Amino acid sequence: MIQLYVPLNFLGVIYREIKQALTDMDRMFSLLNTEKEIADAPGASPLHIQTHSLGPDVRFEHVSFHYDAKREILKDVSFHIPAGTIAAVVGQSGAGKSTLARLLFRFYDIQSGSILIDGQNIQDVTQASLRKAIGIVPQDTVLFNDTIGYNIAYGDPSASTEAVHEAARAAQIDGFIKHLPDGYHTQVGERGLKLSGGEKQRVAIARTLLKKPAMLIFDEATSALDSKTERAFQEELLNLAKNRTTLIIAHRLSTIIHADQILVMDQGQIVERGTHSELLMANGRYTEMWQMQERVALD
């Protein structure tokens, strides 16, 4: 009996190993499939922005998208941001808001529908021209262990010192920098640890403005602001949005009351859209979110 058991057991081990190897290969191939390089289409031409002083017209038309085929993230999403206007996206965590920004930047290709900038499908233009036209201020900025000046100039390494200072002025961090003993030569420390969250975000804004992007995507940080900083921030955002098309991914509704349109997302779909007052009149999902934030603010 033992004599028979050993070879059978041995065969069982081999079988399990082969099955595991096949499973791994399967996973490897599906990974290779999903993590496909985004490449320029053959003969892709540069994105042409019609009116640089206004920003481009942006359209999402019936966009569906998943990172993983098992889970649809955006379902038939359509919206239009006319040139030079501000659109804001709100919705609970995981609704798909930041995904919209990643798709506009073409970090991923969509599975169906189209994304058009000034009438050009972003899959038909060169990635370099697309990424030059769009500036993203991310939630968490990566700062290099170098000087503040270097960190701003990173937005355009060929920029002159005057252009770096001008971008810092526009981001309202020039005054702060000038008061530091080493000014623009101040070291920010590892990951910018010597700066506050707000200062870091201003460096990120200056870095983005230095690129002079025709379109701005602002991924608002989730961290709470005191009401004075919050008001200053609202004004600043309106200033930054001047002369460019702007998409704000918002976590605080008070930031976006002046947006030309607000898109309310839920589980990968746009469930409401309109201006702040239109949405409050509609008394739907946005109103619920607004009332909830008001209650939290009063607590």
Minimum distance from residue 15 beta carbon to ligand ATP (Å):
33
Give the residue with the Cβ less far from ligand ATP, 96 or 213.
96
Q: How far is CA 133 from CA 46, 143, 157, 208, 213, in A?
A: 10, 22, 16, 11, 5
Structure tokens belonging to residue 88: 């804001």
Which residues 234-273 are close enough to bind ligand ATP by CB under 6 A?
Answer: none
Minimum distance from residue 209 beta carbon to ligand ATP (Å):
23
For residue 73, state whether it binds ligand ATP (rule: CB under 6 A): yes
The conformation of residue 213, written as its DSSP 8-state character, comes to -
User: What's phi and psi for 175, nearest 5 deg?
Assistant: -60, -45
Given a contact cutoff of 8 angstroms between Cβ atoms, the answer to whether 92 and 126 are in contact is no
Give the residue with the Cβ less far from ligand ATP, 73 or 170.
73
Minimum distance from residue 224 beta carbon to ligand ATP (Å):
15
Minimum distance from residue 87 beta carbon to ligand ATP (Å):
15
Minimum distance from residue 21 beta carbon to ligand ATP (Å):
25
Mark 29-68 with x for binding to ligand ATP (rule: CB under 6 A) and - for no binding. Answer: --------------------------------------xx
Q: How far is CA 75 from CA 37, 87, 96, 100, 211, in A?
A: 23, 19, 10, 12, 32
Rg (CA), the chain: 24
Mark 79-108 with x for binding to ligand ATP (rule: CB under 6 A) and - for no binding. Answer: ------------x-xxxxxxx---------
Whose tokens are 């701005």? That residue is: 216
User: What's phi and psi for 295, nearest 5 deg?
Assistant: -65, -45
Give the residue with the Cβ less far from ligand ATP, 98 or 287.
98
Residues that bind ligand ATP (CB under 6 A): 67-68, 73, 91, 93-99
